[in-house]
Amino acid sequence: MTISTFYPTGDNDDMTLRAPEYAASQSWDFVRDHAGWNNADATTSAAFIAYGVEGASNIGWDRMQRTQILFDTSSIPDGDDLNSAYLGLLFYEGEASAGAYGEGANWSEAQRSIVVTAGSTASDTAVVTGDYDAIKGATKWSAGFVSTKDSTASTSTSGAWNDNAYAQIDLNATGVAAVNKTGVSKLAVQCVADVDDDEPTTSGTDQQHVLMLWSAANTSGTSSDPKLVVNHGDDPFIPRVIMF
């Protein structure tokens, strides 16, 4: 059994978004279904959906962001079994808010969650704006991960999460099987509400959002980078019968 850790390059850790910041009054379907508007290759990445602009007269959906991360996993021997894998993200911030920031959104736990999904990019070396709508409704490769503060200011109930600490999001069987032993493994991170097309209930002109922010690959070294950790090869805990 071998445990291998893979990191993206700076060009392979981008977030794309629909609807420019502070340009509210769009419908949920518009921000979810439309082509990408912008992409960023920065020191942080995010999964984000936002409703309303504080003090604005035209209130509606403002932004939806999806992140794709590419890992070169071709060094895994072709003959190795894939036993398990997880995506590690170093969280900076996770919150849901209604009205003033940080008050806690009255959304369901699923709507305050992120999920790893199947990535899809035109390139194996970079993420571009046009990749935004390629992952709309993508196949889920993990369970939902609640990394936001709720109305009681409690943090994650689905996994270990603290600011400036790595969160481990385990891939499900479909995600593990999709790790590419001959090339690039493409993973995406999105809000569950986005993937499920589950529009959260909003109220009046209150600003409401769910935001998960983590360190991207564009920092010196790999100590805070996203990482894909894969357990592969013979599992020593699987009983085997040796015939003589």
In angstroms, the CA 54 to CA 71 distance is 38
Tell the residue number behind the tokens 């978004």, with chain if given: 17
Residue among 100, 35, 97, 95 nearest 64 (CA): 35
Interval 138-193: pLDDT, tens = 999 999 987 665 544 454 444 555 666 788 899 999 999 999 999 999 999 999 99
Cβ pair 197, 138 in contact under 8 A: no
Contacts 24+ apart (CB under 8 A), 133-139: 133/33, 133/34, 133/35, 133/36, 135/66, 135/68, 135/188, 135/190, 136/32, 136/33, 136/194, 137/195, 137/197, 138/188, 138/190, 138/195, 139/174
Cβ pair 189, 114 in contact under 8 A: yes
Interval 182-226: pLDDT, tens = 999 999 999 999 999 999 887 666 677 787 888 888 777 898 899
Find the farthest-apart pair of alpha carbons in the chain and give their distance in angstroms, rounded. 80
Is the pTM above the cut of 0.85? yes
